[in-house]
Amino acid sequence: MSKYDQLKYLKKTKARVVHQCGYCGEIIPAGEYYYREALNDKFLQFLHARSFCVKCYGQFGEALLTNKSKRKEIKNKESKKLNEFI
């Protein structure tokens, strides 16, 4: 847990390019809405913000910010869905 975790929130964004959900690994196509990590401080920047699909946000809500175990499983597993899309 870092000192900036309390400043994080999920911001609803419309995708301009293809993204992958940081929790379930589903593809988020361009034009669809998704939720992205953001910081509630205008002076801090966020380099590696995770993206989450609407389905995962509806199921888990803001708890996605603190859940890291499932994300590690997805990183180790190659995403077949993203490879098929490209």
Residue 53 pLDDT = 94
Q: Give the count of domains, the chain.
A: 1
Q: Which domain holds residue 60?
A: 5-80
Q: Is residue 55 in a domain?
A: yes
Residue 72 pLDDT = 46
In order along the chain (86 residues), what is the average pLDDT of each group of 10 residues? 71 94 91 89 74 91 73 53 61
Q: Is residue 9 in a domain?
A: yes
pTM of the predicted model, to two decimals? Answer: 0.69
Residue 8 pLDDT = 81
Residue 60 pLDDT = 87
Annotate 2-46 with DSSP letters as a single string. -TTGGGEEEEEEE-SS-EE-TTT--EE-TTSEEEEEEES-TT---
- Residue 46 maps to which CATH number? 3.30.1740
